[in-house]
Structure formats: C-alpha cells, structure tokens
Amino acid sequence: MMWLVRTLVLSLSLSLGYSVEPGCAEWNLHPSNANWVCCERCKPGNHLVSACGSEVKTLCVPCVNGTFTTSYRAEACSRCTQCIGPQRVKHPCTASTDTVCECVQGFVCGNRVCTFCVQQCGKGQEPTDDRRCRACPAGTFNDQIHHKCINWSSSCPSPDQHIVASGTASSDITCSLSPLNPTSPTPNEKDSGMILVIAIICACLIISSALPLCAAMYFKKEKTVKIPPGPVETPAAGRRLVPEPEQCSFCFPQEERGSHSSLLTENKPFELVV
C-alpha cells in the first residue's frame, strides 16, 4: 500500500511539475538494512519525500507548478512570488528558483530583491520614507534620477573663478572666470596676437631686404653725378702752357706754327679761347 501511494505521488508530481529530473543526487546505504538507501541530497527542484527507501528515484520528487525550492533536503516546496501592482515578471519561477520581478516605467525597485516598487523621482526631486517624491529643499539640488538631494557648493572649484549664478533644484552653482583676473586669452585674442606677430615679422623681413637695395641705388647715383671743374691755375711767368684737347668743350683750330694769327705766342701770356 505504501509503495502505491509513493507511485501515485511521483506520477502526480511529474504531471504537474516542471521539466526537471526527479530523484536523489547523493545517497548512502542504510546502516541496518542493506536493501535500503538514504538520500543525502535531492536533485535541484526536488523536495524530499522519504529519507530512506529501496528506490533512489522515489525518495525525492520535483516541485509542482507554482512552487519551488532552493534547498536540497526540503520536505516541501515554497510558493512562487507573484508580481503585482507596478511590478512585472522579469524571470519566471522555476522548480529551483523563485520569480524575479521588476518595475514598470515610472517606478523603481524598493529593495535589492525588488519585492516592491516605489515611484521614480526625477531630477530636482528626492524619494521620501513613504515611497513618494518631493522637491529638493532650498539650497540643495539633485541632477540624477531617483537620488537624494545634496547641498549647493559654497565656492567655485578654482580660485580664479567666481559665482555667476545660484544653484537650482536640479543643478549646482554656476562658476566663471573672473573678468578682473583672466588667466587665459580667449580664442579671438589668441588669433589677433598671432596675426600681429606675423605682421611684425613680415615688416622686418621687407625692411631688411629693402635697405641694401636702397643703399646700392644711392651710391650708384653719387657716382654718376658730374664733378664740377676746380679753379684755373695761373701759369708761372715765362712758362708756356698748351691746353689739352679734351679739357675744352670747343676750340678753334690752330694755325701752323709761326703764323701771325697764332693764338699762342712767346711774347703773350697764355690765353684759353673757348
């Protein structure tokens, strides 16, 4: 009769249970009955029906649908968790694992295993103990989803900055470089300075190239200017001077030596006719 009951229980469990392998995973021989074995550990998803018996497979049976067990020697299976309200099933229940729930959009899990959901608080808000949301108090802010509000910063992170705007419920204070002590030029100032340096370099190159050319042209002009003639030297008494042909711009042709019309005579002083 007892074997008939165990067989019926096993058949019912297999028909209603999950697709798991029934039976005992580890067993030992009975200390006083050599024909019996005692189960030390059921297979995953099975609960213990009898600690000892003649058949290993009849000692443990699978959990029926809607139940599970994580113990290897549990005598009964636990009921699977139901996802209700704003929860939804993330992973369904199995014979060896419970249901895993998650929250629908607009809600977040209230604890690590997500046994309940709370309203999701946005930026500028923080969660309360009664699972609701409230606005950040004055002087605090929250720029993340479902986080606690924190105090505004009391000063700027850099000593050369100053506060230009107070914080809000969703943002901290706003800092900017001080206009009195700028530490770095703006992009436009950098570009203007680079253009000025390039212009100065180009001007120096042009001037240094033009100076030798101007000096050469000046000295060349000085050489081409005609030097004016100096004062005519008076010949000494009794000395006869004959002008050179290239020293007069225009000269009358001289007559032959001994002519009475000769321009130069021994008794007359030297005269230059132009």
The domain that contains 108 carries what CATH number?
2.10.50.10
Out of 151, 183, 200, a domain closes at 151
Together in a domain, 66 and 7: yes
Does the residue 113 lie in any domain? yes
Q: What pLDDT score was predicted for residue 47?
A: 95
pTM (two decimals): 0.50
Q: Residue 26 belongs to a domain with what CATH number? A: 2.10.50
The set of residues, in sequence order, having a beta carbon less than 8 Å from that of 72 and lying 6+ positions away, is: 25, 41, 42, 44
Q: What pLDDT score was predicted for residue 43?
A: 93
3 state SS of 24: strand
Together in a domain, 74 and 91: no
Does the residue 70 lie in any domain? yes
Sign of the four-CA dihedral 115, 117, 123, 127 = negative
Q: How far apart are CA 42 and CA 36, in angstroms?
A: 16
Does the residue 124 lie in any domain? yes
Q: What pLDDT score was predicted for residue 267?
A: 47
At which residue do the structure tokens 């009664």 appear? 130
Tell me, rounded to whole angstroms, the distance of Cα 61 from its chain centroid. 59
Does the residue 260 lie in any domain? no
Q: What pLDDT score was predicted for residue 231?
A: 54
Does the residue 221 lie in any domain? no
Q: Which helix (H) or strand (E) holds 14?
A: helix 2-16
Number of Cα atoms under 13 Å in the Cβ half of residue 38: 9
What per-residue string of b and e applies to 48-85 under the rule 16 or more CB within 10 Å gives b? bbbbebeebebbbbbbbeebbbeebebeebbebbebee
H helix count then E strand count, the chain: 2, 17
Q: How far apart are CA 206 and CA 153, in angstroms?
A: 57
Out of 117, 151, 185, a domain closes at 151
Does the residue 114 lie in any domain? yes
Q: What pLDDT score was predicted for residue 262?
A: 43
Does the residue 228 lie in any domain? no
Together in a domain, 8 and 72: yes
3 state SS of 134: strand
Together in a domain, 21 and 72: yes
Q: How far apart are CA 70 and CA 77, in angstroms?
A: 9
Nearest residue to 111 (alpha-carbon basis) of 137, 131, 140, 91: 131
Cα–Cα–Cα angle for 148, 151, 153, rounded to 5 degrees: 135
Together in a domain, 128 and 73: no
Together in a domain, 33 and 74: yes
Beta-bridge mates of residue 53: 37
Together in a domain, 60 and 100: no
Together in a domain, 94 and 110: yes
Does the residue 129 lie in any domain? yes
> Could you give the number of structural domains in the chain?
2
Together in a domain, 122 and 140: yes
Together in a domain, 59 and 96: no
Together in a domain, 56 and 124: no
Residue 90 dihedral angles phi and psi, to the nearest 5°: -95, -45
Q: What pLDDT score was predicted for residue 253?
A: 47
Out of 51, 79, 107, a domain closes at 79
Domain span holding position 101: 87-151
pLDDT tens per residue, the chain (274 residues)?
333 334 444 444 444 456 788 989 999 998 888 889 999 999 999 999 999 998 888 899 999 999 999 999 999 999 999 999 999 999 999 999 999 999 999 999 989 999 999 999 999 999 998 888 999 999 999 999 999 999 999 999 998 999 999 999 999 999 998 665 545 555 555 667 778 888 888 888 888 777 777 777 776 766 655 455 555 455 444 445 444 554 444 444 444 444 444 444 444 444 444 4
Q: How far apart are CA 126 and CA 109, in angstroms?
A: 15
Residue 27 token pair: 């067993």
Together in a domain, 75 and 117: no
